[in-house]
Structure 1
Amino acid sequence: MKIQDYLKAHKLWVVSNVIVLFIVNSIYISTVVEYRSSDLLYMNGLLIIIQLSFLLIGFWQQKNKYNKAMKSSMEELEKMAIHDDDYIINMLYTLLQQQRFQHQNNEEAFKKKINEIQDYITQWVHDIKVNIAVCDLLLDETEDIKVRDLRNQIEQIKFRVNQTLYITRANHYSQDTVAERIDVGQVLRMAIKENALFLINKDITINTDLHHITVINDKRWVYYIFTQILNNSSKYTQKGGTVQINSEEDDHAYYIYIKDDGIGIPKEDLGRIFDKGFTGKNGKNVTKSTGMGLYYTKKISEMLQIGIDVKSEEGEYTAFTIIFYKLSDYFNIASNG
């Protein structure tokens, strides 16, 4: 609060004091037959000093209250409003109450709209999966030479539909997380099976050297992370390429390495592959990438307290490291559930 703001708020009080001073001077001059100018100046000076003193005292009191109110929480401000009859504190508290109420209403309306959209997307995904299943059955009855290419496209549609469902859930991941003991190797095999057709169509060999690893985490989301990384490997690995999957363990964590001998990631793109909507050179030239898969992979891994790192050499390889920290497991995940 500044002095000019205080004066603006109390301008009627200032004007009334000036009028009172003028009236006192008029009465003094009209009633005293022989008055001295020095006495008049002394009286005016004394009155002005008294008025300014009270004005400054009032300003400092209001300033202190205002500063305290601005630093207070809503609960502290409510206590101040109850125990202090100062109109500024009460007015500020009332305005903040109205603002909070309006914000809550807007937030609830926004959440309702978002939930309606998510419900629609979820229903749409389940409906379209029925149509895809029917297409699969029809293809099983067909011996046309183009069936393999068509089946590959249908598998791509399946993958994207499932990804849409996961992304929809990801915006409510705190309500959609279940901590459980999972076999990491088993989840990896499920993710490989999900991408099997993509890998087979490009004659990509999967080599695995995995230790038995059991962690406490969310099986469905860990599966999503592995599936997304393997799908990326299938996209950017040339025909006849290789994907090597290994595991290690130390005192701090379990490490899963997924390395392909594909086209690699340009150095200038490497630090941005987890950015939302970033497609990079490969995403534009090799595939029609949306730049959302790795963004949600990173987002979900952070939620699950899973580390994820990537190293790459353009034209040589890309290696993802998924890190399950031993000290993070159950309690961090349970607190998000």
Structure 2
Amino acid sequence: MIILYIINFIVLAFFYNKLGGFKENMSYFIFLSLFFLMCFLVYKYILNKQIYKKLSEKPKSMDDMLTIDPHSPLEEAFFKTIQEYMKLYNKDINFMKNSQKEYKIMLNNWVHQMKTPVSVINLLAQNNYDNEDFQKVALENRRIDYNLSQILTFLRIDDFANDMKIEKVNLKIVALEVVNELKEFFITQSVFPKLSISQNLSINTDKKWIKYAIYQIVNNAIKYSKKNGTVYINGFVEEDMVVLEIINRGIGIKKSDINRIFDVFFTGDNGRTFGESTGVGLYIVKKVLDILDHKISVKSKPGEETIFYIYFKP
């Protein structure tokens, strides 16, 4: 628009000069032209200032761009274009959500179907446990069952808040249930549990999910312990907070890995060495504890020990 104005100004000035009109009024002609140009630019700015303001602001959501009340053809065209982009965006989002939902349903059904033969294999192994080969089968079958359970939990973690029930839970009872469920793993790994939790130590949490979190940490503690080692599970009060401490003497965690152990699919040096880590367990633990509003921390000395702490608010 400005370019057309400049061309028009030059053409008019040329012919006006040819006709002898600039002998005394050249400066007046230029001033008048610039004045009208400035008026036009101010008018266009006022007319389209909503767009300029929106484009200069950082949007907080996609709907922010749809709050324009168009007052000019440019604003109306801009508004319609944004609406069309929003339709395409929502269409893509819905397609992705539906695809993800179908994928989760398919994977969930597959895991449940796999659980049946795993249960049958476990029953056969238990009935023939005196046989050394069946003991090995039982151990490998346990790993399959453990990984299948991890997949199920991973699929359900986004809906965890809908399944949450906060209540007063006895910490020692939960810890004993975890140890009992891992009894065979303790035996096969030649590792021993040692609990030191007061009988009346209670926490406000969801029993099902805190049990899952503790199970994952203790399972890892057994896996990475030295033969004939001990996993210590201690509960105590510190500065008005209940603290669960899980210690294992073993390979420890490298300093370069320790800040990433809660990242999804991160296996670290230990996972590559032992080849059994999926990098999912501790990720789920952290996510569960975050939703439950419990804090977790870890410290480790490579080649010596690893200590996990879970902090429960009063």
What TM-score do the two structures reach when normalised by structure 1? 0.81
Aligned residue runs from structure 1 range 18-33, under 5 A = 18-19=7-8, 22=11, 26=15
* Mapped partners of 2:187, 2:219: distance in 1: 12
Match of 1:257 in 2: 245
Match 2:76 to one of 90, 96, 108? 90
Give the aligned residue type for 1:135: I
Match of 1:15 in 2: 4
Aligned residue runs from structure 1 range 64-143, under 5 A = 64-70=49-55, 71=57, 80-81=68-69, 84-142=70-128, 143=130
Give the aligned residue type for 1:297: V
Measured at CA, do residues 26 and 281 of structure 1 come closer, stay the same or move farther in structure 2, by a change above 3 Å? closer
* Mapped partners of 1:76, 1:121: distance in 2: 37
Match 1:41 to one of 26, 29, 34? 26
Identity of paired residues, percent?
25
Measured at CA, do residues 175 and 105 of structure 1 come closer, stay the same or move farther in structure 2, by a change above 3 Å? farther
Match 1:295 to one of 279, 283, 292? 283
Match of 1:149 in 2: 136
Match of 2:42 in 1: 57
State whether residues 253 and 301 of structure 2, in contact with CA within 8 Å, keep that contact through their aligned partners in structure 1: yes
Segment drifting more, 115-124 vs 64-73: 64-73
Measured at CA, do residues 144 and 251 of structure 1 come closer, stay the same or move farther in structure 2, by a change above 3 Å? closer
* Mapped partners of 1:196, 1:25: distance in 2: 100
* Count of residues in correspondence between the two structures: 309
State whether residues 274 and 294 of structure 1, in contact with CA within 8 Å, keep that contact through their aligned partners in structure 2: yes
State whether residues 126 and 138 of structure 2, in contact with CA within 8 Å, keep that contact through their aligned partners in structure 1: no
Match of 2:189 in 1: 202
Residue 298 (structure 1) shift: 1.6
Match of 2:162 in 1: 175
**2:149 matches 1:162:** yes
Measured at CA, do residues 182 and 102 of structure 1 come closer, stay the same or move farther in structure 2, by a change above 3 Å? farther
* Mapped partners of 2:64, 2:283: distance in 1: 41
Give the aligned residue type for 1:66: I
Residue 49 (structure 1) shift: 2.4
State whether residues 236 and 286 of structure 1, in contact with CA within 8 Å, keep that contact through their aligned partners in structure 2: no
State whether residues 294 and 313 of structure 2, in contact with CA within 8 Å, keep that contact through their aligned partners in structure 1: yes
Give the aligned residue type for 1:167: F
Residue 44 (structure 1) shift: 3.0
Q: Give the gaps of 5 or more residues in structure 1.
A: 1-9, 327-337
Residue 78 (structure 1) shift: 5.3
* Mapped partners of 1:36, 1:285: distance in 2: 92
State whether residues 237 and 262 of structure 1, in contact with CA within 8 Å, keep that contact through their aligned partners in structure 2: yes
Q: Secondary structure at the match of 2:165?
A: coil
Give the aligned residue type for 2:83: Q
Give the aligned residue type for 1:93: F
Q: Give the gaps of 5 or more residues in structure 2.
A: none
State whether residues 189 and 223 of structure 2, in contact with CA within 8 Å, keep that contact through their aligned partners in structure 1: no
* Mapped partners of 1:112, 1:121: distance in 2: 14
Q: Secondary structure at the match of 2:296?
A: strand
What TM-score do the two structures reach when normalised by structure 2? 0.86
* Mapped partners of 1:133, 1:110: distance in 2: 34
State whether residues 48 and 74 of structure 2, in contact with CA within 8 Å, keep that contact through their aligned partners in structure 1: no
* Mapped partners of 1:76, 1:295: distance in 2: 34
State whether residues 155 and 197 of structure 1, in contact with CA within 8 Å, keep that contact through their aligned partners in structure 2: no
State whether residues 209 and 245 of structure 1, in contact with CA within 8 Å, keep that contact through their aligned partners in structure 2: yes
Aligned residue runs from structure 1 range 247-286, under 5 A = 247-286=235-274
State whether residues 171 and 197 of structure 2, in contact with CA within 8 Å, keep that contact through their aligned partners in structure 1: no
Q: Secondary structure at the match of 2:247?
A: strand
State whether residues 224 and 250 of structure 2, in contact with CA within 8 Å, keep that contact through their aligned partners in structure 1: yes
* Mapped partners of 2:189, 2:21: distance in 1: 111
* Mapped partners of 2:221, 2:63: distance in 1: 53
Q: What is the RMSD computed on CA atoms of the aligned residues?
A: 2.7
Q: Secondary structure at the match of 1:249?
A: strand
Measured at CA, do residues 78 and 317 of structure 1 come closer, stay the same or move farther in structure 2, by a change above 3 Å? closer
